[in-house]
Chain A
Amino acid sequence: MRFLFKTAYDQDLRLFRHRGQVFWYGLLALVLLAAPWWASEYVMSQLHFIGIYSIVGLGMMLLVGFTGQISLGHAAFLAVGAYTETLLQAAGWPFWLSLPCAALLSAAVGIIVGLPALRLKGIYLAIATLAFGVIVEEILARWESLTGGNSGKHVKAIELFGAKLDGDADFYYLVLALTALCCIALANLLRSPTGRAFVAIRDSEISASCMGVNLAKYKTLSFALSAALTGIGGALYAHKVSFISPEQFTLLVSIELVTIVILGGVGSIHGAVFGAAFIIVLPQLISIAKDYLPAGVAGAAGLQSTVFGLVLIAFIIFEPMGLYGRWLKIRTWFELFPFYRRGMFRRQKTYMKSERLR
């Protein structure tokens, strides 16, 4: 077991708490960098998607897990990012310019969607964002002169500084770099005043405002940053699938994005990545399992949604802290062996809560 002896305040400011973390993250980085050598084409493709969904998951995590605002319309930001990227690429913009533009436009739309969040809470905010998602989907289908409507749009391959990024490995490194960058940026944000203000809003709005946190500013900022990350994810997604149409950005996708956060573990950066990996891998597992299921079940429509739903319910009941929570428990079990107790992660319930100021 590891004991952390703290001898300086600066130790708490570091991104990595101890050498063990540096070692394991370093190893992870090496394994991921070497992926084109060990992974098959199929696995590479899955890794692309995991990277892209991780970025989107980070955006969701920032909003849902750290600021405590719910959104059921995030597919719309994904769409804004994807369409902006597609249209700007078609117009001949370089990738290093079109990607930030996709992020910025998504952020701008995020600010507009964030406005009702200043007045709405919980389920009402969920409904408002859901409505927004449906509206954007509708606009994409109807504004044919710009989006090509339901017949969709083809996306050009990325061209970065004159070189065409069309190989699996090239695209993989791009996605990996952006995912790592987004992870680090979010981790940095969370250990500075802005991130703490987000957490404050999540845990008690009234008290956050009494500590001088401008609720309107920080809620809007959270929506904007979340939308920007989702927009980046959307732009990469467009390049990955190389063809986009409105039915790729439906309500179901929004729900899938919320699922990332819940399955991964609300309130952790790891959770966003774990959740993303999980929802990419699960459909693959289902299709493998189909071979062993009776034909009536395997061929049934909606098998995937059913399994997703069941998994979601199971997580909420049995592991509310998500995959990351499970990971923490396993790690603690090894660290404390043989002294781990079952109730170690049980949450204490608070019975005293002031209702009046909520």
Chain B
Amino acid sequence: MRFFAVENLGIRFGGVVAVDNVTFEVRRGEVTTIIGPNGAGKTTIFNLIGLIYPATAGRIVFQDRELSGLNPHRVAELGIARTFQNIELFEHATVLQNLLIGRHRHRRTALWQELAYTPAVRNAERAQREAVEKVIEFLDLQHYRDSMVAGLPYGVRKVIELGRALATEPKLLLLDEPSSGLNPEETNDMAYWIEDIKKGLGITVLMVEHDMSLVQRVSDRVLALNEGRAIAEGTPAEVQAHPAVIEAYLGSKEPV
């Protein structure tokens, strides 16, 4: 059984082909990173996986199940969680509430029970809270539990967003530039967490990242994109030494 695979994926916006015939596979228990210059189509691939845009070509398969044609919220229910490049938290709610929304796919209570707040709801809430507390402990967020997100610094929000994705208990975690906007110290923490997520929690990670030292440190496999096309795939070292990748980032050796 393939864990997660993308086959001949493509999308065009009018005349612009944002993603063109991209094929790759994510193996269970590994960290796979997508790299590429700005506008290469990395985030677009994430949005295609999240079914935010309908793909115009190709298919996405998660645990032998094709995703295309499903409702976007079904993707989360199947066990794929994601974070956003520019942070999409629920601003006017506390950190705890944000993380609890991450538990949404595990809810079991009916509307009438919630209106009356029956013991069943109370027990379910208790269980959700315990699950969320594990994430809080894992990411050292105890201090921010009851703070409103709207007033928190950028670095903390980034971690909360990671926490919210982890609270869903995903099988596959999509991280869109986890280190963007973080200082070197926070980036270092992030690298530890990604390693812990892989080894300790056993969650498979697919991420988009620009910071090559972070990529080298945590990735098992790297996929390089340029202008919507896959140009190289392999271990971090292989991809970094690949001539097409060097050309995409630095330009060609030959004088023009």
Q: List the interface of chain A (C-beta within 8 A of B).
A: 9-10, 12-13, 15, 185, 188-189, 191-197, 199-200, 202-204, 206-216, 221, 267, 347-348, 350, 352-354, 357
Closest to B71 in A: A214
Contact B115 A188 (CB under 8 A): yes
Is B50 interfacial (CB 8 A cutoff)?
Answer: yes
Partner of B102, one of A15, A204, A211, A214: A211
Is B42 interfacial (CB 8 A cutoff)?
Answer: no
* Contact partners of B216 in chain A: CB under 8 A: none
Alpha-carbon distance between A195 and B129 when the two chains are bound, in angstroms:
16
9 closest A-B pairs by beta carbon, nearest first, are A212-B76, A212-B105, A203-B90, A354-B86, A192-B114, A207-B88, A193-B107, A188-B117, A209-B72
The smallest C-beta distance from A321 to any residue of chain B, in angstroms, reads: 11
Contact A9 B114 (CB under 8 A): no
Known: A185-B116, A214-B71, A214-B73. A221 touches B97 (CB 8 A): no
The smallest C-beta distance from B63 to any residue of chain A, in angstroms, reads: 16
* Residue interface bits B84-120, CB-to-A below 8 A is 1, else 0: 1111111111001100111111010101001111000
Alpha-carbon distance between A352 and B155 when the two chains are bound, in angstroms:
13
Alpha-carbon distance between A31 and B207 when the two chains are bound, in angstroms:
59
* Contact partners of B248 in chain A: CB under 8 A: none
The smallest C-beta distance from A178 to any residue of chain B, in angstroms, reads: 14
Closest to B129 in A: A9
* Contact partners of A192 in chain B: CB under 8 A: 109, 114, 117, 121, 125
* Residue interface bits B68-83, CB-to-A below 8 A is 1, else 0: 0001110111000110
Contact A206 B114 (CB under 8 A): no
What is the interface of chain A mostly: helix, strand, loop, or mixed?
Answer: helix
Is B201 interfacial (CB 8 A cutoff)?
Answer: no
* Residue interface bits B122-152, CB-to-A below 8 A is 1, else 0: 1011101110010000000000000000110
Known: A185-B115, A192-B117, A203-B92. A211 touches B104 (CB 8 A): yes
Q: Could you write out 7 A-B pairs with CB less than 8 Å apart?
A: A13-B125, A185-B115, A189-B114, A203-B91, A203-B93, A352-B154, A357-B84
Known: A12-B96, A347-B150. A212 touches B91 (CB 8 A): no
The smallest C-beta distance from A94 to any residue of chain B, in angstroms, reads: 22
Closest to A4 in B: B146
Alpha-carbon distance between A202 and B97 when the two chains are bound, in angstroms:
14
Is B229 interfacial (CB 8 A cutoff)?
Answer: no
Closest to A206 in B: B88
Is B21 interfacial (CB 8 A cutoff)?
Answer: no
Contact A213 B73 (CB under 8 A): yes
The smallest C-beta distance from A100 to any residue of chain B, in angstroms, reads: 13
The smallest C-beta distance from A14 to any residue of chain B, in angstroms, reads: 10
The smallest C-beta distance from A81 to any residue of chain B, in angstroms, reads: 18
Is B32 interfacial (CB 8 A cutoff)?
Answer: no
Contact B105 A199 (CB under 8 A): no
User: For residues 34 through 83 of chain B, which have their beta carbon under 8 Å from a beta carbon of chain A?
Assistant: 47, 50, 52, 71-73, 75-77, 81-82
Closest to A347 in B: B150
* Contact partners of A207 in chain B: CB under 8 A: 84, 88-90
Is B168 interfacial (CB 8 A cutoff)?
Answer: yes
The smallest C-beta distance from A58 to any residue of chain B, in angstroms, reads: 13
* Contact partners of A213 in chain B: CB under 8 A: 73, 101, 104
The smallest C-beta distance from A357 to any residue of chain B, in angstroms, reads: 7
Contact B104 A197 (CB under 8 A): yes
Contact A211 B86 (CB under 8 A): no
Contact B88 A354 (CB under 8 A): yes
Alpha-carbon distance between A197 and B72 when the two chains are bound, in angstroms:
15
Alpha-carbon distance between A209 and B105 when the two chains are bound, in angstroms:
11
Alpha-carbon distance between A353 and B86 when the two chains are bound, in angstroms:
6
The smallest C-beta distance from A192 to any residue of chain B, in angstroms, reads: 4
